[in-house]
Structure 1
Amino acid sequence: MQIAIIFLSLFILEVLYFKVADYFNIIDKPSERGSSKFITLRGGGIIFYISALIWFIFYGREYWLFFTGLSIVSILSFVDDIHSLSARLRLPLQFIGMLLLLSQLILGNNSIIDINSSGFFTIVLILVLGLVICTGAMNVFNFMDGINGITGGYSLIVLSAILFILDRETLLGQSSEVETIVSLLKIVLSAALVFCFFNFRSRAKCFAGDVGSVSIAFIILFTLGYIVINTGDLSWLSFLVVYGVDGCLTILHRIMLHENISQPHRKHLFQIMANELKIPHVIVSLVYMAVQLLCCIWYIIYPGYLTLLFQIIILSIIYILFMRKFFKLHQR
C-alpha cells in the first residue's frame, strides 16, 4: 500500500515537473549529434532524485553521507541541463559526491572493511580505486543515455536484479540495514516505472537529462556497491556489463580515432542501431534490456569472475563484429 501511494505521488510530481520545465523552457532540441528528431522536455529523470529524497526522509536518514553525495551530483547535473558547465567544475564535485558514497559504504555495519584494523594506505587505496571506477561508471551511464527508453529500461533490469539478490536471506541475511537498502530499491523502481511511462515510447514526453542519468547511476552504484563491499566480490559488476562493454569500447574506439572523448558523439553501438540502421528506439532499448537481463540471470545461476570474464569476451566480440560491419554507415 505504501509503495502504491509513493508511486502515485511520484507520477503526480513528474507531471508537475513537466509544467515547470515547460514554463522555464528546459528542453532538448534536435541536433546532428543527438538521436531525437523532436523538441522534448529535458530533466524528467529528476524523479529518480525525488524518489531518493522520499526514501531518505522516511526510511534512510542514517544514510546522510550517501544522500548528500547524491544531492551534490544531482543538483550539479540539473544545473548542467539548464546551462552547460565546465568539466573543471563538474569532475571535482562528482569526485566529492562519490567520495561520500564510498565513505557511506565503508562505514556500513556489514562492511567487510574494518577501518580500525585496516592500514591507512589500504583505506586510501580502496577510496582512490573506488573513486576512479565509480566516477567513470557514472559518466559511462550518462554517455549511454541517448535514445528513448534506454536509461529507464536498463535501470529497471539492474535495480530489479539487485533487489532480487538483497531479498534473498542467503546472501547478506535480513538485517535492518539490508531492509533499508531494499526500501530504497523499491521506491526508486517505482520512479523508474513512472519515468518509463513518459519516456519508453517512440515519441518521448521527456528525456532523463544529465540529472536523470547521473542520479540513477549514483543510486545503482550505491546499491550494487553495497553488495560488492559486503561480499568482497567485484564480479557483481556483471549486473552492469552491457553498459560497461559498450561504454568502454566506444571510448577506446574514439581514442583510436583521435577524437576528444569529452565531446558529444553518435558512435555508441545503440546509436548506430537507432540512427544508421533506423531501428526504432524502443526496440533498441528492449535489446539492451534483454541482453543485460540474460547476463544477470547467467551470473545469478553461475556467480563468479569466470562468468563475468566470459560475458565481457562475448559482448566485446559482438561489439567488434557489429562495428566492423556497420560503422562505415556512420562515416558516410
Structure 2
Amino acid sequence: MTGNLVIIAAAAVLSCACVFVLIRRAAQLGLVQAPEARSSHVRPTPTGGGIGIVAGALVAGLSLPGADGVSLLILALGLVIALVGLIDDRRPLPARVRLPVQALVVAALLWSTGAAGALAGGLPAAFHLGAAALLLVGGLWWINLFNFMDGIDGIAGQQAILMLLSAMLIAFGTVPGVTGGWTWWMMAATAAATFGFLVFNWPPARIFMGDAGSTFLGFTLFASAMLSLVAGWLSLPQWLVLAALFAGDATVTLLVRLLRGENVAQAHRSHAYQRLSRRFNGARPVSSGFAVVNLLVLLPIAFILPQEVWAWLVVVVVYVCVIGAALACGAGLPDQQPASFNTYRRLLSRSRN
C-alpha cells in the first residue's frame, strides 16, 4: 500500500508540474483563450491545463500494480479522448469528427468491460443489446456534458474529485478487499492528478482545463462507473446520484435551448451554474456550493441508497429536485430573461405549435 500511496502522490506532483509549465509556455503553445461575448472570463487566460491531469493519471495508471489487458486498453482509450480534446483546444473540431471517435472509444470500453452484460444480468439477448445501446448513448452524453459543464473556475475539477472519492469511499465501506485492485487506486490517482490541476484552477483561475482535460475526466469517470458496476462495488443508481448536479444542469439547459430554437452546438453561457456565477459575482461561491452539495447531500444519499426498485425511486426524487433547481436558476435562458413558470410554459406552448 505504501508504494501505491507514493504513486498517488507522484500523480499529483506530476500534474502540478505540468500545469505550472503550461502556464509559463501557454502563448508559445497556442493555448491562450481570449475572452468572447459568451465567455465567463474577462481577460486572456492559459488553457489546456487538463494535460497535467492526463499525464499524472496515465503515468500512475501504468505504474500501479495489478493492471491487466482491460486496464491498459482503458488507459489507451483515455489517451485517445484526451488527444482529440487537445486538438479541439488548438483548432476546434466539428462534431462530425469528434462524436464518431468518442462513440468508438465508448463502444470499445463497453466491449472490453462487459458492462452491458452486468447491467442486463440474466435477461434475454435483446435486453443486453438494449443495455449496450443505452450505455453507449449515456457514455457519449456524459463525456460531452462534462465538457459543457467546465465553464467556470474550479467546478469541473471539484466535481471529478468528489465523484471519484465518493465512489471510493462507498466501495471501501461496503466491499471487503476493494483496495487490493487496480481500479480503486486508479480512481485515487485520477483524483490526485485532478487536485494537482485544481490548485491552479480554483477561483480565480490561473489556467483553464480545456477539452483535453474535461473529456478525459468525463471518460475516466464513465470507465470507473463501468468497472465498478461489473465488479459489483456500486450500482448504476448510485453513480446517477453522484452525477446528478452535472447531469441535471446540462440536460435541462440543452432541452430548454432546443425549445427556444437555438443552435445547441453554438457556444453559450446559459447553464444554471453560469447564471449563478454572474448573480453571485464570481465562480467561487458556485463551485464551493456544488462541492458542498456533492459532499453533504449526494454522497450520503448514494451511500445509503436502497436496493432494487427503491433505489430508482430515490434517483427520480433526486433528479426532480436538481431539475427544479436548474429551472429556478434559469437554465437555458438568456441573461436578460428571468426564470419563471410562465416563461417555461410559453416555451412548451410554442414548441407544441
Match of 1:308, SS state, is helix
Partner of residue 136, structure 2: 131
Partner of residue 83, structure 2: 75
Listed as ranges, the gaps of 5+ residues in structure 1 are none
Partner of residue 74, structure 2: 66
State how far apart, in whole Å, the 2-side matches of 1:212 and 1:93 are: 16
State how far apart, in whole Å, the 2-side matches of 1:61 and 1:43 are: 30
The percent identity for this pair of structures is: 23
Instruction: Give the C-alpha shift of residue 299 in structure 1.
Output: 2.2
The answer as to whether partners of 2:160 and 2:217 remain within 8 angstroms in 1 is yes
The answer as to whether partners of 1:245 and 1:312 remain within 8 angstroms in 2 is yes
State how far apart, in whole Å, the 2-side matches of 1:61 and 1:227 are: 15
State how far apart, in whole Å, the 1-side matches of 2:223 and 2:195 are: 20
The answer as to whether partners of 2:120 and 2:128 remain within 8 angstroms in 1 is no
The answer as to whether partners of 2:31 and 2:48 remain within 8 angstroms in 1 is yes
Q: 1:22 aligns with which of 22, 27, 30?
A: 27
Q: 1:209 to 1:127 in 2, by over 3 A?
A: same
Listed as ranges, the gaps of 5+ residues in structure 2 are 339-353
State how far apart, in whole Å, the 1-side matches of 2:89 and 2:189 are: 24
The TM-score normalised by the length of structure 1 is: 0.89
Alpha-carbon RMSD: 2.6
Higher mean Cα deviation, 155-164 or 49-58?
49-58
Question: Structure 1 residue 209 and structure 2 residue 220: aligned?
Answer: no
Q: 1:269 aligns with which of 260, 267, 272?
A: 272
Q: 1:190 to 1:201 in 2, by over 3 A?
A: same
Partner of residue 341, structure 2: none
Question: Structure 1 residue 33 and structure 2 residue 34: aligned?
Answer: no
Within 5 Å, give how 1:22-171 maps onto structure 2: 22-59=27-64, 60-62=67-69, 63-106=71-114, 112=118, 121-168=126-173, 170-171=174-175
Instruction: Give the C-alpha shift of residue 56 in structure 1.
Output: 3.0
Match of 2:262, SS state, is coil
Partner of residue 292, structure 2: 290
Match of 1:330, SS state, is coil
Q: 1:251 to 1:11 in 2, by over 3 A?
A: same
Partner of residue 314, structure 1: 321
Cα-to-partner distance string for 1:120-172 (whole Å, 9 max, x where unaligned): 5444333221110110111111111100010111112111101112223x33x
Instruction: Give the C-alpha shift of residue 329 in structure 1.
Output: 4.2
State how far apart, in whole Å, the 1-side matches of 2:17 and 2:275 are: 35
Cα-to-partner distance string for 1:165-186 (whole Å, 9 max, x where unaligned): 2223x33x4268x621111111
Instruction: Give the C-alpha shift of residue 67 in structure 1.
Output: 1.7
Q: Which residue identity lines up with residue 148 of structure 1 in the other structure?
A: D
State how far apart, in whole Å, the 1-side matches of 2:51 and 2:83 are: 9
The answer as to whether partners of 1:43 and 1:207 remain within 8 angstroms in 2 is yes
Match of 1:280, SS state, is coil
The answer as to whether partners of 1:238 and 1:299 remain within 8 angstroms in 2 is yes
State how far apart, in whole Å, the 1-side matches of 2:39 and 2:334 are: 18
Cα-to-partner distance string for 1:267-304 (whole Å, 9 max, x where unaligned): 101111123x1432111111112222211212212342
Greater than 6 Å deviation, 4+ residue runs: none
Q: 1:119 to 1:153 in 2, by over 3 A?
A: same
Q: 1:311 to 1:7 in 2, by over 3 A?
A: same
